[in-house]
Structure 1
Amino acid sequence: MPRVPLIEVLRTRPAFARLWLGALVSGLGDTLSWLALTWFVLERTDGGASVGVLLLCFALPAVVTGPLWGRALDRAQPAPLMGLDNLARAGLIALIPLLDALGVLEMWMVFVVAALMGALAPATQIGARLFVPALLPDDELEQGNAAYSLTTQVPTVFGPALAGLLVAAWGAPRALLVDALTFVFMAWALRGMPRLPRGGRTEDRWGAARAQRWTPTVLATLGLTTLFYFVYGPLEAALPVFAREDLGTGPQGYGALWSALGVGSLFGTLLVGLLSRAFPVGLTLAGIMALWGVAVVGLALTPGVGPALAVMFAGGLIWGPYTALETTLLQRSVPSGEHGRLFGVRAMLLGPAAPLGTALGGLLLIGWRAEWVIALSGLGCVLGALAALPWLRRRGAEAGEPGDGLSLGRPPRVH
């Protein structure tokens, strides 16, 4: 079956294009907010450990709220819940510049705001993954997920550099007002979303999601991605310290490093269709994890900003296809009536994975140099991918079906 070009999906599917535009603008604000807050915490506390605590506050609440949002989104219409989430987060992020202007902002307040926003965020993260397969035909699903991945990757091209300039000119707290406006825009974009069909309950008699029905493909993919996010985490804690102390650069240079990653991710995402046809999806995901680790180890060895930018670009090129391939595999492997629960569990697992890794990286920074922490993160990715490789193959064999997502590049849609 011929593949529809990514740009054609956006041109011919207006409801999907509206969702995509709202997520793109919101993603730009998220990138700005993330860089501004991490730099703000680093300056106020002068320690990478506090950056790890901040990121943990953003993501740890999803352990509890991810499955709850997933169940709610399987039962109720996603658009209103997603709209309320975005309006609430707009108000929360605007509290930080307001409290700072009043002269009463303290670090614990920043952590509380981050935790509340982290509790709300799965509503939109999960809801979007329900809308994509509902708004697009099956043969456009890979490209639709690739397009939606761009809403987080394109902002990393422009967002960090813009954030660096705004933080330098306005200060980190006031720069967060831009993020508040992007949340409002996303809420407006959701007003045009169609209603989705809602069927019967898919819980067992104890009210729990019937996870035992999920195939080995699903469990293997969730496990690999959780491991990937955790061993990636120390990089986020170490990179701002590495940029300042080893590369000798400020917020602009730090932002440029993430922008280079974003440019690479942008080009990497365009390879989704090619990779899904050429290689088994599960093995491709493990390969991406291993190659990312090699790039991160290389980053720790770079002597200056220029080489570091080149390595970050290469890392982004490697990472780019991962989320779209993983999301498509999961959407096709589970009935649509259980997508909310599936991605709720995914949010529960991934929410704390990277921040826990980041917190670990922050603790390691107390006694280790930043480049050592970065190298350890990369080595962990390589070893984790190699350890998962035979397990992925065994799971694919256990499934015993020609359409298992680990043994073939295109798993069948499960209805």
Structure 2
Amino acid sequence: MRRAFIDLGPLRVLTYRRLWVGQVLSGFGGQLTFVAVMFQVWDQTSSPAWTGAVGLAQALPLILLGLFAGTLVDRLERRKIYLVTTCGQLLTATVMASQLVLGRVPVGVLLGLIAVQASFGATAGPVARTVLPQLLTRDQLAAGIALNRIGFQGAMLIGPALGGLIIGAWGVGVCYLIDALSFLAALYGVLGLPRMRIEGTAKPGLRGVWDGLTFVVSTPVIRGALVTDLAATVLSMPISLFPVINAERFGNNPRTLGLFLTAIAVGGVAASLFSGSFTRLPRHGVVMLCGSAAWGFALLLFAFSPVPWLALVCLAVAGAADTIAVVSRSTIVQLHTPTELLGRVSAAEQIVGQAGPDLGNLRGGVVAQLTSPVASLASGALLCIAAVAAVAASTPGLRTPATPIDSR
């Protein structure tokens, strides 16, 4: 039974523990900002298409800059890159917090600031992923990824609900201020990292990007893992629909808007607490496929839930399934990628893992605008399930035990 609980072993490594604490606190601030942005955009526009545009503002920098950022991570000293990107995110968050004094900015300006912060995140994400294998041993990687996930889910559990309370009491500006302060904790964690050695000689510019893409496309296990995640995010991400569902079912109360994200986080935290039950399994691909399919089924039930409490239960199940799939996907990427390519492959994973949901939120908002929230949710969930089944059938390597740097 004890082996089913999350493995805390990586927290015994001081540099990892310090970095993890900083990431958790920064993640908490990020969740406050996310709720504040969604509420501010909805409050100023009353349009699900505009709330979906928040996802576009976050996704475009990742798509346009992500792979080039991965090449930089594989060429330059990684601690220095991490410091620069964290400082950039801190500065952008501070500008957003200035609304507390200057008043709300137009929606276009707000989306521009979101895009600037996402541009720094396009590099911060890959470098954070490349740091992990240099801080932990290979047999600690899955546990470290699970700890990162529970940190994110814990922030997501507390952040949205508290964000709704803060918005209701003091407005969105206070959320932005707390987010800016939280980046100081992230900066403290990065300052504790050692200098990172550079493996290999990544080619500059497009040639380096091409090498990374070639590896991803030619390695079926990694390609299948990323396609599976795209199926679960681009096709069925529901978050941009939360404001309109909140308006239809919960009277547009900002406190209840946070409950939707909190429900997903509850399921994610529960799955993370018992992550030992799946991180110790050898067939990470099978676990990932099952988690992604369960995500689709849970959202399909959420689309037709007749009462609010059942809808929240479905979202909790979806959150658990998402955590299982994400931890397994990241483990697959780490185990099958050479160190000298890890920055570029991690950048590709980030584009899929972060830009995918952003594009999915855009898709959900646009389809809901043209049809209805229920039609958008149900169609996306069904497409997700079908796509996961197709990947499972066409990628046999995902159904066999993992072998490090294996291109089955």
Q: TM-score, normalised by structure 2?
A: 0.91
Judged with a 3 Å threshold, the aligned counterparts in structure 2 of structure 1 residues 362 and 198 are, in CA distance, closer, same or farther, namely same
More deviation, 127-136/271-280 = 271-280
Letter in 2 for 1:140: Q
**How far apart, CA to CA, are the structure 2 residues paired with 1:104 and 1:149?**
33
How far 1:184 sits from its partner (Å)?
1.9
How far 1:171 sits from its partner (Å)?
1.1
1:154–1:266 Cα contact (<8 Å) kept: yes
Show the counterpart of 2:287: 284
The secondary structure found in structure 2 opposite 1:210 is helix
How far 1:266 sits from its partner (Å)?
1.0
Judged with a 3 Å threshold, the aligned counterparts in structure 2 of structure 1 residues 16 and 4 are, in CA distance, closer, same or farther, namely farther
The answer as to 2:226 corresponding to 1:219 is: no
2:242–2:260 Cα contact (<8 Å) kept: no
Judged with a 3 Å threshold, the aligned counterparts in structure 2 of structure 1 residues 5 and 195 are, in CA distance, closer, same or farther, namely farther
How far 1:284 sits from its partner (Å)?
2.2
Show the counterpart of 1:83: 83
Letter in 1 for 2:74: D
**How far apart, CA to CA, are the structure 2 residues paired with 1:327 and 1:83?**
23
1:247–1:304 Cα contact (<8 Å) kept: no
Show the counterpart of 1:402: none
The answer as to 2:344 corresponding to 1:341 is: yes
Letter in 1 for 2:302: L
2:368–2:376 Cα contact (<8 Å) kept: yes
Show the counterpart of 2:239: 236
More deviation, 201-210/347-356 = 201-210
The secondary structure found in structure 1 opposite 2:306 is coil
For residues 70-128 of structure 1, the C-alpha deviation after alignment (integer angstroms, 9 at most, x for no partner) is: 11111222222222222222221222342463247211110110111111102221112
Show the counterpart of 2:60: 60
**How far apart, CA to CA, are the structure 1 residues paired with 2:279 and 2:4?**
13
The secondary structure found in structure 2 opposite 1:118 is helix
| 1:198-217 map, 5 Å | 198-203=198-203, 206-211=207-212, 212-214=214-216, 215-217=219-221
Report sequence identity in percent: 24
Show the counterpart of 1:34: 34
For residues 318-351 of structure 1, the C-alpha deviation after alignment (integer angstroms, 9 at most, x for no partner) is: 2222222111111110111110011122234444
**How far apart, CA to CA, are the structure 1 residues paired with 2:380 and 2:125?**
26
1:296–1:378 Cα contact (<8 Å) kept: yes
Letter in 2 for 1:147: L
The secondary structure found in structure 1 opposite 2:395 is helix
**How far apart, CA to CA, are the structure 1 residues paired with 2:45 and 2:228?**
34
The answer as to 2:25 corresponding to 1:25 is: yes
| 1:162-177 map, 5 Å | 162-177=162-177
Show the counterpart of 1:410: 402
For residues 193-215 of structure 1, the C-alpha deviation after alignment (integer angstroms, 9 at most, x for no partner) is: 01122133144994444243452
**How far apart, CA to CA, are the structure 1 residues paired with 2:62 and 2:139?**
31
Show the counterpart of 2:389: 386
Letter in 1 for 2:161: A
The answer as to 2:130 corresponding to 1:130 is: yes
Match of 1:264 among 267, 287, 292: 267
Judged with a 3 Å threshold, the aligned counterparts in structure 2 of structure 1 residues 4 and 196 are, in CA distance, closer, same or farther, namely farther
More deviation, 126-135/274-283 = 274-283
Letter in 1 for 2:375: W
Gaps of 5+ in 2: none
The secondary structure found in structure 2 opposite 1:61 is helix
**How far apart, CA to CA, are the structure 1 residues paired with 2:129 and 2:63?**
18
1:158–1:259 Cα contact (<8 Å) kept: yes
**How far apart, CA to CA, are the structure 1 residues paired with 2:142 and 2:80?**
26
Letter in 1 for 2:105: L
1:63–1:351 Cα contact (<8 Å) kept: no
More deviation, 167-176/74-83 = 74-83
**How far apart, CA to CA, are the structure 2 residues paired with 1:94 and 1:11?**
30
Show the counterpart of 1:296: 299
**How far apart, CA to CA, are the structure 2 residues paired with 1:89 and 1:311?**
34
**How far apart, CA to CA, are the structure 2 residues paired with 1:201 and 1:16?**
26
**How far apart, CA to CA, are the structure 2 residues paired with 1:351 and 1:173?**
25
**How far apart, CA to CA, are the structure 2 residues paired with 1:173 and 1:309?**
28
Judged with a 3 Å threshold, the aligned counterparts in structure 2 of structure 1 residues 271 and 181 are, in CA distance, closer, same or farther, namely same
The two structures, once aligned, show a CA RMSD in angstroms of: 2.3
For residues 210-269 of structure 1, the C-alpha deviation after alignment (integer angstroms, 9 at most, x for no partner) is: 243452111221222222220133x11212211221344511112122112111101112
1:4–1:143 Cα contact (<8 Å) kept: no
Gaps of 5+ in 1: 397-405
Judged with a 3 Å threshold, the aligned counterparts in structure 2 of structure 1 residues 232 and 152 are, in CA distance, closer, same or farther, namely farther
1:31–1:159 Cα contact (<8 Å) kept: yes
More deviation, 62-71/31-40 = 62-71
2:282–2:402 Cα contact (<8 Å) kept: no
Letter in 2 for 1:292: W
**How far apart, CA to CA, are the structure 2 residues paired with 1:140 and 1:340?**
19
How far 1:295 sits from its partner (Å)?
0.7
More deviation, 235-244/248-257 = 248-257
**How far apart, CA to CA, are the structure 1 residues paired with 2:37 and 2:13?**
36
Letter in 2 for 1:192: G
**How far apart, CA to CA, are the structure 2 residues paired with 1:147 and 1:388?**
27
Judged with a 3 Å threshold, the aligned counterparts in structure 2 of structure 1 residues 177 and 58 are, in CA distance, closer, same or farther, namely same
The answer as to 2:19 corresponding to 1:15 is: no
1:290–1:382 Cα contact (<8 Å) kept: yes
Show the counterpart of 1:403: none
How far 1:367 sits from its partner (Å)?
3.1
**How far apart, CA to CA, are the structure 1 residues paired with 2:83 and 2:215?**
31
The secondary structure found in structure 2 opposite 1:139 is helix
**How far apart, CA to CA, are the structure 2 residues paired with 1:273 and 1:231?**
29
**How far apart, CA to CA, are the structure 1 residues paired with 2:11 and 2:350?**
30
For residues 146-204 of structure 1, the C-alpha deviation after alignment (integer angstroms, 9 at most, x for no partner) is: 11112211111101111010111111133211111111220121101011221331449
The secondary structure found in structure 1 opposite 2:399 is coil
Letter in 2 for 1:333: H
**How far apart, CA to CA, are the structure 2 residues paired with 1:108 and 1:100?**
18
